[in-house]
Amino acid sequence: MGSSRTGPVQPRALLNRQAMDLSPELVAMVHRSVQDAGPDPERQPLTDEDYDQLVTALLATRPLDSPVWVFAYGSLLWKPGFAHVEELPGRLIGWHRAFCFSQKRFRGTPDCPGLMLSLDRGGECRGLLLRFDEGTLERELHGLFRREMTMKPLNHGARWVRIRTVSGTVPAFTFVSNRSSPSYVGKLPPERVADVLATACGHLGSGAAYLYETVMRLRAVSIEDRRLWELQALVAERIRRSGSRSERGETVS
């Protein structure tokens, strides 16, 4: 993967020293084998031409004389899926992590939808900048866009932002929410988000697993997100409660 500059960006070390409530054992209780039901028949998949246009548009607005970085805040933290040559912790002002999209595929199903993480307006978000290798830039961008954006209208799209780091401000692109998407559910109470993540599972895995991996990766690079920390505790409590009810033979809804 190349060099890594993962120094702390104002971490609050106290939480990172605490044991997580959500554990691999609890995550395993949510997992189940799910068949991929395929794309939503009410929405259109992106075409090769769409992806060509998206990549071209991003590169056409690329800041001059700057390497291309992507700001990772969710699954790109722990499963980037593309070659990168450097990592740098950073902070994005004006956007925050939010499980703000309903998800009927991937980590949910039509009868038990999950929730998808994106960046929604307001607040701030701490994450990792990942720098692309210039020699493979376009190929890796095509692969990343196909992973992050699948259906029209888009749930979230690529946008250039400015990330604050210990080395100064860095231009980067990231994926931000499209509030016009039919899957956008807005700001949900943490308790409601926890209810969904503790039960939903799709062919790529469960919402609980997604949350666990995200928090674990943030802890590994000394980045704190208090909302996610509180959310993982709520999800763990719900999974334990559901398991206890199942052991007693009660119906778990």
Catalytic residue among 87, 140, 148, 224: 148
Q: Is 140 a catalytic residue?
A: no
Residue 23 phi, psi (nearest 5): -130, 165
Distance between CA 235 and CA 239 in Å, rounded? 6
Burial class (CB in 10 A: 0-12, 13-18, 19+), 244: exposed
- Beta strand pairing call for 44-45 and 201-202: unpaired
Place of tokens 């780091």: 165
* Helix residue spans in the chain (DSSP H): 13-17, 24-30, 48-60, 75-78, 137-148, 190-197, 207-220, 226-247
Q: Is 93 helix (H, G, I), strand (E, B) or coil?
A: strand
Distance between CA 14 and CA 209 in Å, rounded? 24
**Which residues are known catalytic residues?**
148
